[in-house]
């Protein structure tokens, strides 16, 4: 399972909520509108993809990962151009 490889615990994702910053939005995503969020905790900088289910009034974590520096700008908030 990729989540184990990424080593981002659910508790870390929840505790980093105060730092959430939306860096990309996908309002017409296939199933639910989604948002890529930059977050940081004491020991992690991470990206979290949330899907927002407005109809059922909930939010789902789709995935989380540590951004690869070569793919993002210096502050890890904008993708580098190919």
pTM metric for this prediction? 0.86
pLDDT score recorded for residue 4:
62
Asked if 13 contacts 35 with a C-beta cutoff of 8 angstroms, the reply is no
Q: What is the pLDDT along the chain (82 residues), one digit of tens a residue?
A: 455 666 788 899 999 999 999 999 999 999 999 999 999 998 889 999 999 999 999 999 999 999 999 999 999 999 998 7
Whole-number pLDDT of residue 5: 65
**Token code pair at residue 62:** 């789709």
């Amino acid at each position: 399972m990729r989540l184990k490889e990424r080593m981002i615990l659910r508790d870390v994702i929840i505790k980093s909520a105060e730092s959430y910053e939306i860096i990309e939005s996908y309002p017409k995503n296939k199933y639910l509108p989604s948002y890529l969020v930059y977050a940081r905790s004491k020991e992690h900088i991470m990206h979290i993809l949330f899907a927002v289910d407005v109809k059922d009034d909930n939010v789902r974590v789709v995935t989380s990962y540590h951004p690869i520096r070569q793919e993002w700008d210096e502050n890890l908030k904008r993708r580098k151009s190919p």
